[in-house]
Amino acid sequence: MTDVMPWSFTIEFDAEKAAHNGYDVETLYEYVDKNVQQFGVTRLALGTWKANEDNRVESQCRSLSFLSRQKWVMQNVTSLTAFERSTKPIDYIGIVEDLFPERICA
């Protein structure tokens, strides 16, 4: 994993959950990459993306919102951590649990 930087996010998938749901984690990371590219984020490493420098807030927020609405993400995710203005981690799964509990898969 790369060093943590402002305006980036990391996602970690659970290999056991993924296998149970018919996925392998490498495929899930590829799905994430293909889907969030539309918002201008750039993949830095496996599980880590950086927001578009020209539009950091919009590119990151739209990416995270999109991912939290995907069943294939929420069924298999272990953690989704965002970094905004600093390198202080933000538990995005916790935010989803608070604001959109219907998106959380047991």
Average pLDDT over residues 8-14: 97
Average pLDDT over the chain reads 93
Average pLDDT over residues 21-46: 97
- DSSP letter, residue 8: E
Cβ atoms of residues 43 and 33 within 8 Å: yes
43-82, pLDDT tens digit by residue?
A: 999 999 999 999 999 999 999 999 999 999 999 999 999 9
Element of type H or E holding 43: strand 42-45
Average pLDDT over residues 80-94: 94
Cβ atoms of residues 44 and 51 within 8 Å: no
